[in-house]
Copies of this chain bind each other. A is one copy, B any other.
Amino acid sequence: MKIIETKSAPNPRRVRMFLAEKGIAVAYEEIDIMKGQHREAAFTKANPMQRVPVLVLDDGTAISETVAICRYFEETKPEPALFGTGALERATIEMWNRRMELGLLMHVAAAFRHTHPGGAALEVPQFKEFGEANKPRALEVMKVMDQQLAATKFIAGDTFSIADITGVIAVDFARVIKLRIPEELKHLARWHAEISARPSAKA
């Protein structure tokens, strides 16, 4: 079993942090997306969507999509439960993980890919004005997070979950577009410091 990834990219970090929380060790193989290795034939065969990371099982089966890889390991090693337990908690964590991913991370990633010189290799062509318009939207999601975290310890409630992983990595990745946690979002800053202090955040 191995995971093909690009260590500096945010989605591979989500999987590494998830596995560190689970206490699961996996071999990693690096490809360089800045050199376009995700568009080469061998990788495209493993993932026709040409995105990292990809989990390759011992029989050669390839699982791509960050959350699908995490879900595979949630099923094979259920504890600690990072997708929650029971209908309401599972739905709540799914909701917040998607807000972190589709709300925050995708706006940050779109801003990076369309405005940053480092995004030029990934996004052809870049649409700079569209990219810029994503920045205030990412900030709006940070405000929603701050409101939630005024009442809860973790993003999805009382329990650490995959939503915290996606959230902290999205906030960290926002540095590439020079978006930092605004000083007035004190609950977000408190949570960010707590999650960043977990050993898994360094994985």
Contacts and interface: CB of A to CB of B under 8 A. Distances in A.
A64 B95 contact: yes
A39 interface: no
Nearest to A62: B95
Contacts of A130: 114, 127, 130
Contacts of A98: 65, 67-68
Copies of this chain present: 2
Contacts of A67: 94, 98
Nearest to A69: B91
A130 B141 CA distance: 22
Contacts of A58: none
A49 B101 CA distance: 12
| Dominant secondary structure of chain A at its interface with chain B | helix
A22 interface: no
Interface in A93-133: 94-95, 98-99, 102-103, 114, 125, 127, 129-130, 133
A37 interface: no
Contacts of A48: 144, 147
Contacts of A92: 63, 68
Nearest to A61: B88
Contact of A95 (B63, B129, B144, B147): B63
Interface in A31-87: 48-49, 57, 61, 63-65, 67-69, 71-72, 75-76, 86-87
A86 B129 CA distance: 44
Greatest chain B CB density within 10 A among A49, A65, A72, A98 is at: A65
B103 A91 contact: no
A2 interface: no
A87 B98 CA distance: 21
A147 B86 CA distance: 36
Given A127-B127, A127-B130, A144-B48, A90 B65 contact: no
Given A49-B144, A65-B95, 19 more contacts: A49-B103, A49-B141, A63-B91, A63-B92, A64-B95, A65-B94, A65-B98, A65-B99, A65-B102, A68-B91, A68-B94, A69-B91, A71-B94, A72-B87, A72-B90, A75-B86, A114-B130, A125-B133, A127-B127
